[in-house]
Structure 1
Amino acid sequence: MRSLVLIGHGSHLNGESAVAVYRYAELLRDRGLFDEVIEGYWKEEPSLRQVLKTTASTDVTVIPMFISEGYFTETVIPREMGLGHQGPVPEGALRG
């Protein structure tokens, strides 16, 4: 089983902040490229800390949906998802 996890920032204040991630996830589900497509968020549910626990798959691709690389993509997401990395991600380390 292959799973895709799309990561967004989300917001506790703006209910529309996750719309782009939800729409993209639905598009990918419709295309059937993965057995499951899951969304995860920093400021909404499911949280970054919990999202990997929602799949039984061992083949998981995680894609951050942020405007650019930086603190969240290099530090917060790997840390919160328990990927065992602290600090900036080495060039090419998480790309396949």
Structure 2
Amino acid sequence: DGYLRVDPAEFLHVREALTRVDRGESFATVAGDTGIAESTLRSLHQDRRDLYLGGEAEDDRVDEALTDVRPLKDVRAEDPDFEELRERVERLEEATDVNSR
């Protein structure tokens, strides 16, 4: 259909792996636990860390595709839009087929 799409389950899996590396776990340990090749994990950490951890990209098409997988803002810091948050959760649940597990 011409739109750039992100696989939410895969994206969140990689984000969690990069978060663990950022917290000090070794690349080898995280790679072994997640099934992501250590070389891939190192490359993603070096080249795409901000994309995965911040959920933002300079390319508008990529940035738009990341809408549903961006980290949530701290809802304690400002007046949160709960309806928007509910919609994001619903879209992620549908995309990852969470209810059929």
TM-score (norm 1): 0.31
Structure number having the greater strand percentage: 1
Whose radius of gyration is greater, 1 or 2?
Answer: 2
TM-score (norm 2): 0.30
